[in-house]
A and B are shown apart, each in its own frame.
Chain A
Amino acid sequence: MSLRLENLSHRYGSLDTLQRISVQAEPGKITAVLGPNAAGKSTLLKCVIGSERPVSGHVYIQGSQVTDLSPRQLAQHVAYVPQRSTVAAAFTVQDVVELGRYALPRNPSRIQNALANLDLLELAHRPYPALSVGQQQRVTLARALCQVEDNGIMVLDEPTSAMDLKHMQQCMTLLRQLAERGITILLVLHDISMAAQVADAVWLLERGTLVASGSVAEVLQPDRLKSVFHVPFAWIQETAGRRRLVALMQSTVNVDTMEQP
């Protein structure tokens, strides 16, 4: 399902959070949305899911404007995973995952598959508030998993920020499998190295403007990244011939000049 942003601008009060962004996400690909804090990444996602209304411009899903679709219609095309989910009731994990089918016909096997795909079967009857934040993120992802239909769109805002390494890798593998089924993945990440590994395309934002968009190799150039993030980056060669993007640590304190105790 195609996702297109056309001259999208958004404002919080007097603050321009997004400025005339025009870009398109390809179906069946993982598009990483990158940028420093307050670049407008989460606001952009909220415009895509219809939670925020742009001051000008439009978001088109399969040719329809998002603002013209009801929440029920939109939920049939787009699943959303926030950075931190809030559930104001002591529902079990299974109850929360079932909410993913709220606007869709019941499908118990989808729910069981989603639980199994995220290692949640053993936790299915545990109260959601009793889980760790990382486990809660898996539950939220499972809910989106049983919501999103083939050829649909999945929008994720830092979905793995509190997950352990095993589940983080599991999550990224899962997103790749979803993309191979034709699902459009829009993924906000702070880990630029991970984005370079998992994404097919990148949108790079800075202070509400789109600095660059395109393939990983085109966008994630060390000079450009340094000017946006103010941190040096480098591509390093791995033994298997693959390249990996790393952020280089920079110390603001000169250790040599520090006094010894």
Chain B
Amino acid sequence: MRPLAKRQFLGLCCLVVIVGLTVIARLLVYRDISGVLTWEWTGSDAMSLRWTAVRVAAIAGASLAVSGVLLQALLRNPLASPYILGASSGAALAVVMVMYLQSSLAITWNLRGMDTMPAAVGAVGTLGVVYLLGQKRGWLDPISLVLVGVVVTAICGALIMFFHHLLPHGLKADLVTWMMGIIRQGASTSELIITGSIALIGSAIALFFGRAMDAATLGDDEARSIGLSLGPLRLVLFVVAGILTSAAVALAGPIGFVGLIAPHAARLILGPKHTVLVVGAALAGIALLIGADVASQIISVQGGRMPVGVFTALIGGPAFIWLLRSGRGRS
């Protein structure tokens, strides 16, 4: 691997410091049963729950951010995000379908744990459909992928609304909360080990293909002419991005904008080379999601905490518009 430039080294150091600060803040913030906010180092049980939340946010943030880097390289579009291929809507559709079946069969439904498997199956299943339909001449085609992703997302959206309409009132609120993203303090160790391993392996694969992603920024003919096998690379990027997104959605729900904003924040600090960008985006994603979780702990509206997705969207939405307005989306 080539040596880091001074700017890249300093940028990575800054991101590590920011991640550390958000982790410390998340471990300190504490809201008691009566809703009073305090900042203190408390007993081991409470600390264990907060560590779990930190790990959930870190795994989901890194997975979504690295997935965003891969998809932006795959689709050659800096405005691509992990949900452009329909993973989140597929996950949400599976969750709402299972909720409906459970409610109609009168089985007790615990959304804060049992949604992991249907969400993962839904996300992977939808990505499989998009993969099959997004090919041209036997290989994945960026434009076909985006178009198929948009159509599949729209169809899933309609079906989500259909099943949402059929759900009992109590479950409707649970679904909406899940769809805004939940950093669960009660995630199980096995969930953390599986999704954490996926995040680590996925990020390692992304690092390995960093230089290939640099080459893939060229047009198809040119990329091939310098020796890049575009078809196999696109397949790898699609599969890895899909699995990372599915893991993140299964763990924390379809949290928006992390996969779009984290790669861009890293790109602004570290430049466009993908090997460094993968690491930087993962750190930025971790910081963004833990930071958003801290904000959701601190900000209490009418006695209830805001879903973490509200804060990532509040940061991500304006940033997205800024990207569009400044023309960075075209570069």
A residues sitting closer than 8 Å to B (CB atoms) are: 46, 49-51, 70-72, 74-76, 78-80, 82, 85-91, 95, 99-100, 102-104, 129, 140, 143, 147
Contact = CB atoms under 8 A, between A and B. Distances in A.
Given A46-B221, A89-B217, 15 more contacts: A49-B225, A51-B225, A70-B229, A74-B225, A74-B227, A75-B226, A80-B225, A88-B77, A91-B214, A95-B214, A99-B226, A102-B226, A102-B228, A103-B226, A129-B331
Given A70-B229, A71-B229, A72-B229, A90 B221 contact: no
B174 interface: no
Contacts of B272: 89-91, 95
Interface of B: 76-78, 211, 214-215, 217-222, 224-230, 271-273, 331
A90 B222 contact: no
A88 B217 CA distance: 5
Contact of A86 (B218, B224, B227, B271): B218
B225 A75 contact: yes
30 contacts: A46-B221, A49-B221, A50-B224, A51-B221, A51-B225, A71-B225, A71-B228, A71-B229, A72-B229, A74-B225, A79-B225, A80-B221, A82-B222, A88-B78, A88-B217, A89-B214, A89-B272, A90-B272, A90-B331, A91-B214, A91-B217, A91-B272, A95-B273, A99-B215, A100-B226, A102-B227, A102-B228, A103-B226, A103-B227, A103-B228
A198 B330 CA distance: 38
Is chain B's binding surface mostly helix, strand, loop or mixed?
loop
B271 to A, nearest CB: 8
Contact of A99 (B76, B218, B229): B218
Nearest to A80: B225
Given A90-B272, A91-B217, A99-B218, A71 B76 contact: no
A219 B122 CA distance: 64
Contacts of B214: 89, 91, 95, 99
Contacts of A147: 226
Contacts of A82: 219, 221-222
Contacts of A143: 226
A104 B331 CA distance: 27
Interface centre among B77, B78, B218 (most CB of A within 10 A): B218
A116 B243 CA distance: 45
B217 A87 contact: yes
A86 B271 CA distance: 18
Contacts of A76: 227
A177 to B, nearest CB: 21
Interface centre among B224, B225, B271 (most CB of A within 10 A): B225
Nearest to B273: A95
B222 to A, nearest CB: 6
A85 B226 contact: no
Contacts of B229: 70-72
Nearest to B224: A71
A86 B222 CA distance: 8
A76 B228 CA distance: 11
Nearest to A143: B226
**Closest 9 pairs (CB-CB, A-B):** A103-B227, A75-B227, A80-B225, A89-B272, A86-B219, A89-B217, A72-B227, A88-B76, A102-B226
A85 B222 contact: yes
A185 to B, nearest CB: 15
B21 to A, nearest CB: 29
Nearest to A129: B331
Contacts of A70: 229
Contacts of A140: 222
A51 B331 contact: no
A104 B220 CA distance: 19
Contacts of B271: 90
A121 B221 CA distance: 26
Nearest to A147: B226
A46 to B, nearest CB: 6
B218 A87 contact: yes
Contacts of B226: 75, 99-100, 102-103, 143, 147
Contacts of B78: 88
